[in-house]
Each structure stands twice: as structure tokens, then as C-alpha cells.
Amino acid sequence: MTEEGTLSIVRRGTVYQVRYASNNPYATDRQPRACHDADTLGALLHQLGTELETIEQAYAAVQRGGVAVLRILLSSGQIQAFFRPSPSRDR
């Protein structure tokens, strides 16, 4: 089973923060993933099936101080492996 979603990538100091958001409003929220350098970021995006040209464009946008936003299609296994669920907000 696959799920459509969005990746957003920002740079916070020397760390790249990658956040996944499902297009399904009922899906579980996910914690952002930290990539400590550009090579780690590139490897993560490659493992998620992102094409090299898109990875280069995302990296360039983030290097300029912007946010890279990528539409993506992930399997449930990829989502589970790379993006942990956010803690429950139930009180």
C-alpha cells in the first residue's frame, strides 16, 4: 500500500530537518527526521525514491535559506522505517 504525502526540508544550523506529512487528514502525524549533513540528506531522499535532479534542486533551495517542498509517494514500510509517529496528544 502506498500513501501520497509531502516532504518539507529546512536547514537548522548544520542539521537538515525532513518532515513528512500525509495527504490523508486521518493519518498519524510523524516526527521530523534529522540529517546531520548533505550526504545523509541525499542518501535519505535517494532511499525514498527521489530522483537525483530533484535531490539537487531541494538541496540548492535549502542552501539558499529556503524550504524545499517535495510531493512524494511512499510505501507504508518506508513511512514506518524513516518517520516515527509523533507522541499522542491525548490527555
Mean pLDDT calculated for residue range 18-35: 94
Asked if pLDDT for residue 52 goes beyond 50, the answer is: yes
pLDDT in the model for residue 72? 95
Q: Is residue 56 part of a domain?
A: no
- Domain interval for residue 18: 1-48+65-74
Q: How many domains does the chain have?
A: 1
Mean pLDDT calculated for residue range 69-74: 95
pTM of the predicted structure, to 2 decimals: 0.88
Find out whether 19 and 32 touch, Cβ atoms under 8 Å.
yes
CA atoms of 73 and 50, how far apart (whole Å):
10
CA atoms of 47 and 83, how far apart (whole Å):
13
Mean pLDDT calculated for residue range 28-44: 94
Q: Is residue 59 part of a domain?
A: no
